[in-house]
Each structure stands twice: as C-alpha cells, then as structure tokens.
C-alpha cells in the first residue's frame, strides 16, 4: 500500500509538472521575474522556519556520522540564505531567452519558417545533500519557463521540504502555477530508477553532484540527460613559454581551488623548457604544498617527487596533488591530453602561434586556453550570469551552460494553403 | 577465438575511427569536397562490382523470404547509384559548418572568448537493410569532418562491404584518412550492444530505421543518441477554416505519402465547421480510399466509418487510415494533440490569429504549421540541402536536422597571463 502511494507521488507530481509546464511556457518575462522577486522575499520572511528544518537534517547527519565537509555543504545560515535571495534578484536582470527568434526565412513556395526558442518542458533534477541546489535549480528553471521535479538527498529532506514549501507559498501570490516547483519526497532508489524512465513526463534529467551520481544517471536513464562531467585538465608549457607566466598559471590552475572540475590535475612540460625552468616550477608547487607525481625526468630534477604511474595520469585528484610530466613536443602533449583528459578544460602556455593553433585544433575539449588559467571555465567567468553546470558532452551544450542550455526550439511555419 | 577476433573488430575499428577523427577535424572544406567528388566518381566507376555484391544480398533475401517492400529497399540499380552519386556532388555545394564562429566576446579581464563550431568526432550509425544509408551517412559525416563507424543490417552485408570498399578506395586518392569511413562486419546483437556502451570511442550514436530499432538504441545506449522519432501528427480544422483549403491540406497531409513520419494520422475538426463541412471532408478522404476511424459525431455524418478507439488516437498508421474526431474548440484540440501526439508536426487550419497564436504557443511539437501541410517537415523542404533525420527530442536538435546537427562547439579562450 505504501509502495503504491509512493509510486503515485512520482507519477502524480510528474503529471502536475507537465500541466504546469504548459502554463509556464506562456508566462511573460515580467511574470517570471515577479515570481523570482516573490521567492526571494519569502525566503527572508520564512528563514527561521527554513533554518529550524535545516537544523533537523544537521542533527540527524551528526548522529549518523556525516563528515564535517558534508555537514558544511548541508548547512544553511542567515548569510547563506541572504546570498541565495540576492542571487534570485540577480537572475531577474538576465535576459529571458524564451521567445527569441533564432532564425527566420521564406521558402520559394512562400512558406515562412521561424525557429523560436522555447522551454524544455519538465526538468528532473537529481542532486546530493546541498539545499542551495534546491533553490538554484528552481530559480533557473522558472526563469527559463520550465517546470522542475526535484529529487534531493534523503539527508536533506527536511531542508528541501521547507524550501519548496516556501517557494510554493511565494508562487501562490504570482501568476505562475505552484506546481512549477515540486519536491519528490520519496527518495528511495527504486523510485529514482523509475524517474530515469519517465520519458512521458520528463523532458530532461540533470544530475548535479559527484562523478558516481552522474554516471548512474547517464547509464540508467532513457530520459535525455544534461551531463556535467569530471575535469582531468592539463596545463601544457611549451618551449617558447614565458617562464614566470607559465609558473603563475600552473600554480593558479592547480592551487587556487583544487576541489573543482576546472582545476588543473596534470602539468606537461616541453623538454627544453624543463631543462631551464622545471626546478622553479617544482619549487613553486612544493611551496604551495602540492604533492608531485613525476616521471623520471621530473624525479631527477627535484626532491620528494612520487613516481607517476599510468593511473596518476588518469586521476582527477581534486586536491593538492599533481601529475608532472616532461614531453618532447606539442604533438606528444596533445596525444597525452586526448588520451587521459576528460574533454573539459585544457591550456597551452606558449609564445608560438603555430603551437597554439595546433593545440586549439587538435585538443578535444569543451574549452581550450592560451596563456590563461583553466579556472575560467565557469558560467559566471564567461559572463553568462548564471550556470547550470559545465557540460563535457558534445550534444546540446558544451562547456559552461547558461540559461540557454535549459531551452529547446520549435519551428513555426506559416502558409496560405501550401500542400506538397 | 572467433569471439575475441570479432570483439577486436569493433574496438580496433572504433580506435581507428577516433584517430581518423582528429585528422578530419583539421581537414579544409576543399579537402572534404574533393573526397566527396572522388567517392562520387568511384561509385560510377565501380558500379558493376557494387551491383554484383548487391545481387548476392537480394538473392539471399529472396531465399529467406524477405518481403517485396524490403527487397525494394535493399535493391540498388544504375539509376539509384547515379542518384546517390549526384547527391554527393550536391553536398559539395553546401556551406561547411565547421570553423564557423558562433559567438565572440571579450571579458573585463581582457580574456577573449570565441565559440567555434567543430565536428562531433566519431559517429556510430546503426541502420537497417538500406544500402543507400551507407553512402548517405558516410557523405554527411565526411562533409562535417566526422569519422563514421557503420553498423548496417546483416541482410545487406555484401552491399555495404562493397560500398565501403569503394569509398575507402576513393579516399586513398585524397587527403582524408581511409579510416574516416568504416563498416562493422560483425552484425551480431552482442557486438551491437557493446557498441551502445563505447563511450570512450564514439561521440554519438544515430539510429536510422523503424521505431523498434530507435527504441532499442535509446534504451540501451550510454553513448549519447541523436534520436529521430515517430510522427503521430494532427491537422486541426477550427471554426474559421476555409473549407476548401482545410480539405486540401488534410488530404495532402494524409495521402500524399502516407508511409512517412510527417504524414498526418489524425484530423480534428471543430464542431461548427463539422456541421457544415465534415461530409465534404469524409467524401474527399474516402475518394482517396482512406479508411476513417471516427468518433460518434463522425459516424453519424458519414458511412463506412469504423468507430475510433482510444488506441486509434495513439496509432501512427503509416498507411491509408486516419482517426477523425470532432472537438469543441481549440483548447480541446490542443489538449488532445499534447496527449496523443509525438511532438513531431502539427497543423492548424484557421483564419483566427488568436487560435493560431494559442496553437503555436501551447502545442508541444518540433514543427507547428498554420494553413500548410505537415508534409513540409523535411530538411530539403526547409532548405537545409541535406537531412540527417527529423528529431523529436528536445536536446541538441529539434525538427529536421541538417549538417549543423552533426556538429558541436568548442570555446577558444585567448589570454596574456590571466589567473583567477
């Protein structure tokens, strides 16, 4: 009986989301922005309630031995809620992509064809114990006229219920349907698996979280997935690279925030440059407490170098570790990157236009950099004003995804009786 | 041992395709067009060989009781080869999408960002016993700088081997790698299933064929799929529709070529229009030998009407049958279409701007039509000059897919030492 009820929750909410999506597709920019303002205000008004519910999750987490870093991700406080409320206001200032005419032309038979940007429809969002994603995902979906069905972590269930409650409360005062944002309270795996196959109701699934979560969604979903991926990125320093710039960029890409996907995990150094400057690079990395996994040439050039294994080249450390390797030339660097990289962000430091051109053409990645840190692969750094995630897939969207990634298009054809 | 060898065929060819894709990504428009010319010429030169091999498949097909229509799809002759050779020359005249700068901007920190169109990489094409698809897919992939791994039907294996042989022979005289086009000769299901999971080598899978084939690929692939779908399309005739235009369009959409996905399968008629004109519509359909599945109102208005069932509304007949239903208004028509349609092609025949606007906004489909036949949903009719298929999914590409659907993009970022 419980099972049936819970099955019903998924189907019922998915069906409601689909109905809501039709209304949302018609919503004006003003109506959508008003909803964002209303939610922002309601968040501040009801923050005591949200924090109280969040505290229940934190207590349960502590009891169940949740790690400090996970508890920190789960935690909300007045400052964080204020930041989120502010982000909602920022979102109102971004251009509404919906309704944009992407292309328009006439055919010899006088048919007029226009390609118009439309919402995707219903977005299924699957994520981990970060209550801020609940708001982030909801607001980005609302701005783009999509309904969203949220499936967060069971360890954040009280926080998520409170937040969605507040969002729906705010929506009641607006022209948008309250079913635009719904939370799936049943967080059992079986139910999530059903969600993977809900092609009749969901237009896209977006997993947000670690590699394992994303892999599970990609491997099991028949609903199309907007995939955000791991970043096993490289900085390649060629024979013409300015020594100071090369070291500065490598250090920044590796150490400025090592836990993120656009951080650098591998440094490749051309042999001639290495002969003159690798000692400086090793010193700079070790000053920042980076553990170096080096090939033989690197081991000879420095101390406290761990020998690099095949596995090291394929590892996204997400911490203060790096693989450092000497290569003969740009060809070898590119081959290494295309073999071990994850098609995310790859940089070349060079003064040779020829090497840069070759690198830009042959490296298969969402973003390629010349003389800049890989850390700029980010929707905000790119100037999109919002970010759904960073796509490492090649279909639909590649690289940092702004609001446009949450849209599709529709051909609108006008005639006066044309038949074929 | 055989098993291992055949496994090797898939992996080896996929790996070769990946290597070839790097070279193809750098090919100039001229080099790609020269390859298309060379293949076109070689096809004519070696047509005797191709027809001989095709004949083996035809004989085997007949022996195994293959239906006449399937044999016709399998059959090649001089005329068909000439058409295909001509299509290759047409393709050289289309604009090369690769290298196009989609967007370009500078950031406040002086980073210069450009979004450039690039090939997808390696395309896996899975299709049925139509040897023309072997050439069609190969040429579209070459034009867009993609390598292709073809998996055709075992019943067309001799034809496909001959065609790919001829293509590779032609490529030998060009600057493009011969591994740009390869055929998987092992057509066992297990091997195809392995192909579904070959994310390390394949960037996209494109199924071409019936609904069952497409469904199998969509449901089992972890490699992203470019989905082309079924078309359960509607023509809705509202109360303001010009009677002659409405009948003409309905007849054209239903009968001009009933076996294709942009043919109309359902006609919805507003009650007032029906009162005056449904008899004419029924007569016109029956003159074209269309079997009508009608609701009660339709049954009362005509003779020889089969009662329409719930199942009829969801059926893509692909033949001379149609579901005909009377609705109260545009709201009901839209609701019916969004419930039973497949998001492909939907038309409204109307003189009311208000109804048309509502229909265009609320109907969820790749292409929506006003006063024109749904039969125009086609890459050639849209003026794309080529067609990969018609997408009914919302990610990446929606509606008729031209060359651009076989491309992705890459962000190219130039700096002078920027760090974060």
pLDDT tens-digit map of B296-353: 999 999 999 999 999 999 999 999 999 999 999 999 999 999 999 999 999 999 999 9
Q: Do residues A39 and A80 lie in contact, with contact meaning Cβ atoms separated by under 8 Å?
A: no
Q: What is the pLDDT of residues B287-302, one digit of tens each?
A: 999 999 999 999 999 9
Compute CA distances B25 → A372, B21, B117, B141, B142, whole Å.
24, 6, 11, 11, 10
State yes or no: pLDDT of B153 exceeds 60: yes
| Mean pLDDT computed over every residue of chain B | 95
Half-sphere exposure of A295 (CA within 13 A, CB side): 16
Q: Of A372, A396, A418, which is closest to B418 when you measure between CB atoms?
A: A372
Q: Is residue A395 assigned to a domain? A: no
State yes or no: pLDDT of A229 exceeds 90: no
Q: Among B411, B412, B414, B416, which would you mutate to test the A interface (most chain A Cβ atoms within 10 Å of its Cβ)?
A: B411
More confident residue, A5 or B52: B52
End-to-end CA distance of chain B: 55
Residue A56 C-alpha, separation from nearest chain B C-alpha, in angstroms: 37
Q: Is residue A337 assigned to a domain? A: yes
Same structural domain, A67 and A83? yes
pLDDT band with cut points at 50, 70 and 90 for residue B211: confident
Same structural domain, A67 and A100? yes
State yes or no: pLDDT of A417 exceeds 50: yes
Same structural domain, A12 and A114? yes
Asked if the Cβ–Cβ distance from B413 to A256 is below 8 Å, we say: no
Asked if the Cβ–Cβ distance from B419 to A249 is below 8 Å, we say: yes
Q: Of B222, B338, B375, which is closest to A218 when you measure between CB atoms?
A: B222
Range from A273-277, A343-347, B3-7 carrying the lowest mean pLDDT: B3-7
Same structural domain, B219 and B311? no
Q: Going by C-beta distance under 8 Å and a sequence separation of 6 or more, which residues neighbour residue A45?
A: none
State yes or no: pLDDT of A108 exceeds 90: yes
Q: Of A370, A408, A420, which is closest to B373 when you measure between CB atoms?
A: A420
Query: Directed axis angle between helix B78-92 and helix B131-143, to 10°?
Result: 10
State yes or no: pLDDT of A211 exceeds 90: no
The residue-averaged pLDDT of B36-55 equals: 98
The residue-averaged pLDDT of B4-14 equals: 79
C-alpha closest to that of B261 among B171, B345, B153? B345
Q: What is the pLDDT of residues B160-193, one digit of tens each?
A: 999 999 999 999 999 999 999 999 999 999 999 9
Compute CA distances B235 → B22, B160, B241, B373, whole Å.
46, 39, 12, 8
Q: What is the pLDDT of residues B349-385, one digit of tens each?
A: 999 999 999 999 999 999 999 999 999 999 999 999 9
pLDDT band with cut points at 50, 70 and 90 for residue A227: confident
The residue-averaged pLDDT of A59-64 equals: 97
Q: Of B22, B371, B414, which is closest to A417 when you measure between CB atoms?
A: B371
Q: Is residue B197 assigned to a domain? A: yes
Q: Of A372, A394, A415, which is closest to B369 when you measure between CB atoms?
A: A415
Q: Do residues B243 and B280 lie in contact, with contact meaning Cβ atoms separated by under 8 Å?
A: yes
Same structural domain, B11 and B133? yes
Q: Do residues B328 and B215 lie in contact, with contact meaning Cβ atoms separated by under 8 Å?
A: no
- Rounded CA separation B295/B309 (Å): 8
Neighbours of A216 (CB within 10 A): 18
Query: Directed axis angle between helix B29-45 and helix B131-143, to 10°?
Result: 160
SS3 state at B275: helix
Asked if the Cβ–Cβ distance from A222 to B219 is below 8 Å, we say: yes
Q: Do residues B250 and B281 lie in contact, with contact meaning Cβ atoms separated by under 8 Å?
A: yes
Asked if the Cβ–Cβ distance from B372 to A203 is below 8 Å, we say: no
ipTM above 0.85, yes or no: yes
Q: Is residue B419 assigned to a domain? A: no
Asked if the Cβ–Cβ distance from B417 to A249 is below 8 Å, we say: yes
CATH number at residue B53: 3.40.605.10
Q: Do residues B346 and B365 lie in contact, with contact meaning Cβ atoms separated by under 8 Å?
A: yes
Q: Do residues B113 and B106 lie in contact, with contact meaning Cβ atoms separated by under 8 Å?
A: yes
A383: which chain B residues are within 8 Å (Cβ-Cβ)?
105, 107, 113
* pLDDT the model gives residue B390: 93
Q: Of A203, A249, A398, which is closest to B409 when you measure between CB atoms?
A: A398
Nearest chain A residue to B119 by CA: give it.
Answer: A394
Residue B167 C-alpha, separation from nearest chain A C-alpha, in angstroms: 25
Same structural domain, A331 and A263? yes
SS3 state at A232: coil
Q: What φ, ψ does residue A186 adopt, rounded to 5°?
A: -80, 105
Same structural domain, B293 and B321? yes
Asked if the Cβ–Cβ distance from A25 to B382 is below 8 Å, we say: no
* pLDDT the model gives residue B334: 97
pLDDT band with cut points at 50, 70 and 90 for residue A7: low
- Rounded CA separation A143/A133 (Å): 15
| Mean pLDDT computed over every residue of chain A | 95
CATH number at residue A360: 3.40.309.10
Nearest chain A residue to B342 by CA: give it.
Answer: A200
* pLDDT the model gives residue B2: 42
**Structural domain count, chain A:** 2
A113: which chain B residues are within 8 Å (Cβ-Cβ)?
382-383
Q: Do residues B106 and A383 lie in contact, with contact meaning Cβ atoms separated by under 8 Å?
A: no
> Exposure of B8 by Cβ count < 10 A (0-12 exposed, 13-18 middle, 19+ buried)?
exposed
Same structural domain, A268 and A197? no
Q: Of B120, B383, B398, which is closest to A408 when you measure between CB atoms?
A: B398
Q: Do residues A123 and A406 lie in contact, with contact meaning Cβ atoms separated by under 8 Å?
A: yes
Neighbours of A276 (CB within 10 A): 10
Q: Is residue B266 assigned to a domain? A: yes
The residue-averaged pLDDT of B235-263 equals: 96
State yes or no: pLDDT of A1 exceeds 50: no
Asked if the Cβ–Cβ distance from B418 to A113 is below 8 Å, we say: no
C-alpha closest to that of A299 among A275, A321, A332, A324? A324
Q: Is residue B18 assigned to a domain? A: yes
E strand spans, A214-312 = 233-237, 264-270, 291-294, 306-307
- Rounded CA separation B120/B118 (Å): 7
SS3 state at B411: strand
Any bridge partners for residue B409, and if so which? Answer: B117
H helix and E strand count, chain A:
15, 16
Residue A60 C-alpha, separation from nearest chain B C-alpha, in angstroms: 36
Q: Of B113, B222, B252, which is closest to A219 when you measure between CB atoms?
A: B222
- Rounded CA separation B85/B72 (Å): 19
C-alpha closest to that of A209 among A158, A311, A137, A138? A137
- Rounded CA separation A162/A51 (Å): 9
SS3 state at A221: coil
Asked if the Cβ–Cβ distance from B371 to A414 is below 8 Å, we say: yes
Same structural domain, A52 and A145? yes
Nearest chain A residue to B414 by CA: give it.
Answer: A370
- Rounded CA separation A138/A148 (Å): 7
- Rounded CA separation A18/A148 (Å): 9
Same structural domain, A102 and A31? yes
- Rounded CA separation A47/A30 (Å): 26
Strand order across the B112-119 sheet: A306-307, A291-294, A321-327, A264-270, A233-237, A345-349, A367-372, B407-418, B112-119, B101-106
CA A97, chain centre distance (Å): 19
B365: which chain A residues are within 8 Å (Cβ-Cβ)?
410
Q: Of A370, A395, A411, which is closest to B415 when you measure between CB atoms?
A: A370
- What element of type H or E holds B233? strand B233-237
pLDDT band with cut points at 50, 70 and 90 for residue A8: confident
Q: Among B345, B355, B413, B415, which would you mutate to test the A interface (most chain A Cβ atoms within 10 Å of its Cβ)?
A: B413
Nearest chain A residue to B349 by CA: give it.
Answer: A417
Asked if the Cβ–Cβ distance from B413 to A368 is below 8 Å, we say: yes
E strand spans, A100-187 = 101-106, 112-119, 122-127, 147-151, 181-183
Q: Is residue B385 assigned to a domain? A: no
Q: What is the pLDDT of residues A171-210, one digit of tens each?
A: 999 999 999 999 999 999 999 999 999 988 999 999 988 8
* pLDDT the model gives residue B210: 83
Nearest chain B residue to A197 by CA: give it.
Answer: B219
SS3 content of chain B, % helix, strand, coil (to 5): 50, 20, 30
Asked if the Cβ–Cβ distance from A22 to B362 is below 8 Å, we say: yes
Asked if the Cβ–Cβ distance from A361 to B219 is below 8 Å, we say: no
Compute CA distances B259 → A7, B272, B318, whole Å.
38, 31, 4
* pLDDT the model gives residue A134: 96
- Rounded CA separation B240/B3 (Å): 65
The residue-averaged pLDDT of A248-273 equals: 96
Q: What φ, ψ does residue A232 adopt, rounded to 5°?
A: -105, 75
* pLDDT the model gives residue B7: 56
A188-195: Cβ within 8 A, 24+ apart: A188/A6, A191/A6, A191/A7, A191/A9, A191/A10, A192/A126, A192/A151, A193/A220, A194/A7, A194/A10, A195/A10, A195/A14, A195/A124, A195/A126, A195/A149, A195/A151, A195/A223
Angle at the Cα of B11 from the Cα atoms of A330 and A265, rounded to 5 degrees: 40
Q: Going by C-beta distance under 8 Å and a sequence separation of 6 or more, which residues neighbour residue B325?
A: B266, B267, B268, B269, B294, B295, B298, B308, B313, B336
Q: Do residues B267 and B237 lie in contact, with contact meaning Cβ atoms separated by under 8 Å?
A: yes
- Rounded CA separation B315/A381 (Å): 49
Q: Do residues B366 and B398 lie in contact, with contact meaning Cβ atoms separated by under 8 Å?
A: yes
Q: What is the pLDDT of residues A25-47, one digit of tens each?
A: 999 999 999 999 999 999 999 99
* pLDDT the model gives residue A404: 95
Q: Do residues A136 and A379 lie in contact, with contact meaning Cβ atoms separated by under 8 Å?
A: no
End-to-end CA distance of chain A: 55
- Rounded CA separation A11/A9 (Å): 6
Residue B233 C-alpha, separation from nearest chain A C-alpha, in angstroms: 15
Asked if the Cβ–Cβ distance from A22 to B370 is below 8 Å, we say: no
The residue-averaged pLDDT of B237-265 equals: 96
A219: which chain B residues are within 8 Å (Cβ-Cβ)?
222
Residue B62 C-alpha, separation from nearest chain A C-alpha, in angstroms: 35
* pLDDT the model gives residue A180: 98
H helix and E strand count, chain B:
15, 16
Which residues constitute the domain of residue A310? Answer: 233-376
State yes or no: pLDDT of B277 exceeds 80: yes
Q: Do residues B378 and B215 lie in contact, with contact meaning Cβ atoms separated by under 8 Å?
A: no
Q: Between chain A and chain B, how many beta carbons pairs sit less than 8 Å apart?
A: 186
Asked if the Cβ–Cβ distance from A383 to B107 is below 8 Å, we say: yes
* pLDDT the model gives residue B296: 97
Q: Of A204, A370, A417, which is closest to B245 when you measure between CB atoms?
A: A417
B420: which chain A residues are within 8 Å (Cβ-Cβ)?
252, 256, 373, 375-376, 381
A146: which chain B residues are within 8 Å (Cβ-Cβ)?
none
Nearest chain B residue to A103 by CA: give it.
Answer: B382
Angle at the Cα of A140 from the Cα atoms of A136 and A142, rounded to 5 degrees: 120
- Rounded CA separation B171/B42 (Å): 10
C-alpha closest to that of B398 among A98, A394, A409? A409
- Rounded CA separation A2/A185 (Å): 13
Nearest chain A residue to B395 by CA: give it.
Answer: A396
Asked if the Cβ–Cβ distance from A419 to B252 is below 8 Å, we say: yes
B373: which chain A residues are within 8 Å (Cβ-Cβ)?
418-420
SS3 state at A399: strand
Nearest chain A residue to B413 by CA: give it.
Answer: A369
Same structural domain, A157 and A267? no
Q: b vs e for A373-404, b when ≥16 Cβ sit within 10 Å of the residue's Cβ?
A: bbbbbbbebbebebbbbbbbbbbbbbbbbbbe
Same structural domain, B316 and B246? yes
Q: Do residues A375 and A262 lie in contact, with contact meaning Cβ atoms separated by under 8 Å?
A: yes
Q: Is residue B113 assigned to a domain? A: yes
Asked if the Cβ–Cβ distance from B415 to A371 is below 8 Å, we say: yes
């Amino acid at each position: 009986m419980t099972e049936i009820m819970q099955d019903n929750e998924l189907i019922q909410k998915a069906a409601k989301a689909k109905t809501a999506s039709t209304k949302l597709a018609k919503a004006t920019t003003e109506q959508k922005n008003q909803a964002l303002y209303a939610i922002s205000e309601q968040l501040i008004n009801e923050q005591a309630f949200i924090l109280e519910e969040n505290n229940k999750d934190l207590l349960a987490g502590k009891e169940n031995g949740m790690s400090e870093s996970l508890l920190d991700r789960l935690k909300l406080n007045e400052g964080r809620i204020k930041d989120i409320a502010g982000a909602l206001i920022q979102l109102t200032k971004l251009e509404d992509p919906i309704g944009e005419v992407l292309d328009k032309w006439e055919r010899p038979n006088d048919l007029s064809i226009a390609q118009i940007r439309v919402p995707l429809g219903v977005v299924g969002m699957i994520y981990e114990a970060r209550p801020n994603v609940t708001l982030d995902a909801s607001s980005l979906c609302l701005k783009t006229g999509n309904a969203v069905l949220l499936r967060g972590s069971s360890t954040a269930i009280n926080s998520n219920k409170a937040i969605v409650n507040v969002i729906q409360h705010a929506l009641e005062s607006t022209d948008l349907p309250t079913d635009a944002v719904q939370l799936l309270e049943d967080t059992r795996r079986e139910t999530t698996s059903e969600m993977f196959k809900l092609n009749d109701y969901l237009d896209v699934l977006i997993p947000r979280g670690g590699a394992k979560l994303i892999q599970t969604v990609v491997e099991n979903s028949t609903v199309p997935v907007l995939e955000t991926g791991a970043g096993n990125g490289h900085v390649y320093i060629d024979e013409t690279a300015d020594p100071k710039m090369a070291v500065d960029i490598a250090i920044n890409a590796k150490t400025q925030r090592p836990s993120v996907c656009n951080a650098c995990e591998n440094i490749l150094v051309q042999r001639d440059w290495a002969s003159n400057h690798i000692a400086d690079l090793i010193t700079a990395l070790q000053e920042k407490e980076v553990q170096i996994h080096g090939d033989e040439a690197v081991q000879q050039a420095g101390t406290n170098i761990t020998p690099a294994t095949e596995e090291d080249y394929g590892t996204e450390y997400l911490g203060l570790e790096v693989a450092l390797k000497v290569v003969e030339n740009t060809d070898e660097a590119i081959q290494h990157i295309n073999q071990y990289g994850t098609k995310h962000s790859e940089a070349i430091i060079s003064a040779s236009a020829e090497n840069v051109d070759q690198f830009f053409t042959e490296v298969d990645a969402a973003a390629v950099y010349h003389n800049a840190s890989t850390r700029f692969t980010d929707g905000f750094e790119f100037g999109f004003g919002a970010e759904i995630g960073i796509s490492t897939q090649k279909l639909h969207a590649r690289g940092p995804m702004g609001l446009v990634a949450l849209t599709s298009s529709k051909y609108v054809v006008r005639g006066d009786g044309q038949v074929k």
